[in-house]
Each structure stands twice: as structure tokens, then as C-alpha cells.
Chain A
Amino acid sequence: MIIFQLLFFLFSFFAIGTVIKRRKDTLLSNNGTLFWMLFWILADVVVFMPNSTTVFANALGIGRGADVIIYIALAIIFFVLFRLHVKLHMIEQHITRIVRDDAIGTMQDTESQTKK
């Protein structure tokens, strides 16, 4: 076992522990827990058996296993980035709604106090 494999295994062990903790704290859904568990187990498989990705790559018509990993990682990163952008946009809209309600409420309070 080379040093990288050992370090990666320890890290994935820690990551899976975090996933389980998040699930217990009900911060992660069943699907989310399943996805991240599978992700880290699969990552361990790839790190311990690097040739396994080559088999998969060849099946897809890609030469090297490392290339498949890079393509998939890029696709996932872009997808997550897009989802984060959309989420941020929605949060911005919620902030605006709160700011608007507060602004109109304050104005109405001031108006009613002036009338008194």
C-alpha cells in the first residue's frame, strides 16, 4: 500500500463518518446520505484499483481511466456550481422580500404615528 492510498483511505473514512453524523443530525436526506456514501466508497475502489477506471473508460471509448475521472469531475463541479448559483439567486429574492416587507411596514408605522 503506497502512502497516498493510506492517506486517502483515512480521509474517506473521516468523510464517511461526517456523512453519518450529518444524517444523524437530520441535516442530510436519505438520498444525500446514499449518494455521498457511494461516492466515497467508489473513490476508495478507484484509488486502490486504478485499473478499474481504465475498464470503464474503454467501455466509453476513452483511452485513459484518469481522463474519465477528470471529465466526470468537471461535469459534477459545473453542475454543483450552477445549482449553487440558482440557490443563491433564490436566497437573494427572499432577502429582498424581507427588506421590502420591513420597509413598507416601517413606512406604515410612521404614517399611522404621524396621523395620531
Chain B
Amino acid sequence: MAVTNYALYTGCIIPLRYPDIENSIRETMPLLGANVYDMVGAGCCPPGGAFWSVDEISGLIQSARNISIAEFMEKDLVAVCNGCFCYLKNTNMMLKSDKEKREKVNTILNNVGRKYQGTISVYHLVEILHDHIGIEKIKNSIKLNLDGVKAAVHYGCHLLRPSDHLMAENPEKPHKLDALVEALGLESVYYPKKLSCCGAGGGMRGNNPEVTLKILEKKLMNIKYSEPDCIVTACPFCFLQFDLGQKGLREKGEDFCIPVFYYNQLLGLSMGLPKNRIAVLSETPRDGFIKKYYGVE
């Protein structure tokens, strides 16, 4: 099996709030011929809502610092969060083409002994799984097929948009995550406004807990329309919004309790990896789903 090596950029939410998702990525990818290596010292991407929203250069230098770590490793960077992917890829595109900005960034990075060179590519995990590894290999890697189980696929905003920069998917008709979910045997069901926001980003979740839940509730009403058995995403912030947000809505007396999975958690369970390392942490219960369809406690 051909092996490819990547620099794994974990971000903040996965390593520090859902490390079981990190385990699921670390354990599934090598089984598909994609080795992932730690980016030692990598910091926050940083997010659009804070640094980018007040001063472009402060966003650029922190992103460029992260990219320079992968450059030093001589490996392409794989982001496992939509927000990280969007801002790191955006930075990479901008600095590769804009000499003036690149020089400005490098003058500052030089003070900490780092340099942005523009020698690597930034990918989203979905691109690695779909474009580099391929559906066939994934189909061949699983031990248990979840035939007939219905999944509501949520892409999230920053995997798709702005498409001119990200170029990961067709922004109005994406298909890669659907194809990946269907490779595990599940049926990816239609639901209205599938490409709409989960309501977490831009600082909304921190600043406006009421509004964030309102937007999520609309999203969930549309999802419920298709009566799925689970929600699948490849962004930890969307995952968190569905996981904690449904809990928040339940506390207000609403009836939302759809199990949520990060894609590699489902993939790992389908490969027969132990649940207690890869799918443990959630506020919206998933054990019933896992027991029913995977037969493990």
C-alpha cells in the first residue's frame, strides 16, 4: 500500500475538548495509508472572529507561523476543523501570491526564528479521505456495513466557502462528505437548507447564546424532517454546536436528541476500533446508536 505523510494540524477544540476525535483520526488514517505527524508547537489558527476581525496582519502572522511548522517538516498540512482549514488555506493562498504581504509577515516571523516559504499545500481531512485515499479503499477497510442507517450530513461553512479560495468542494452542490458517509453503508438523506450555518461561528456562540440556539433550532428542524438516525460532520466546532446545542435546547424543554459523530469516529467504529478511545465524549447520548448498530457497549 502506498503511504503518504501529512503534518496533522489539530487546532484547539479537537485536542482540548474532544480528544477522542483526535484518537479516531490518528488511528484510522494510517490504516488507509495516510500517516499523520504532530505539528510540535502549533498554536491557534487563529479564528476569524477575533484576530482577523480587528487586524489582518495579526491573523496572517499566526497562521503563517503554523504553516511554517509544516514546511519545516516538509509535509503537506491536513486541517481537521473547518475554521482552521479556511483561515490556514486562505493565508497560504494569500502569501503565496502577494509578495508584499509575504515580506511583511516574514519580517515579523524572523523575530521568533521562523520563516514562511510557501512550499506546502493546506488540505481539509475530507479532501485527503475523498481525493487522496479514495472511496474504494475506505469501502475495503471496513468490517461492518451500516446498510440502511440514515445520516444527515452537515458540511459546515468553512469547508465550502469562500470557494474561490478554498476550492475543496462545489459550494452549492458538495458531494465528498456524502460519498464518504455512504462508503460506510449509511444512506445520506436529503434535508432542506443542508448548506446553511450551524450558528456557532464568528463569535456568535460566545456572544449570543440565545441567537446561536435559535439558528441551531432552525437547522435541526430541517434535519428532523428527514428523520435521520445520526448527524455526521467533519468540523469539531459544528460537532460541538450540535452536541452541546441539542443539550441546551433539551434544557429549554425542546425534543432534540440526535446522535452526532465526527466522520472518523464512525469510520473507526466501522473498522472495528474500540469505542472507548474514539467515541466517548458527548453530551448528546450516542451509546444507544453505537450499541444498536455496532453491537458494542
Q: Do these two chains really belong together in a complex?
A: no
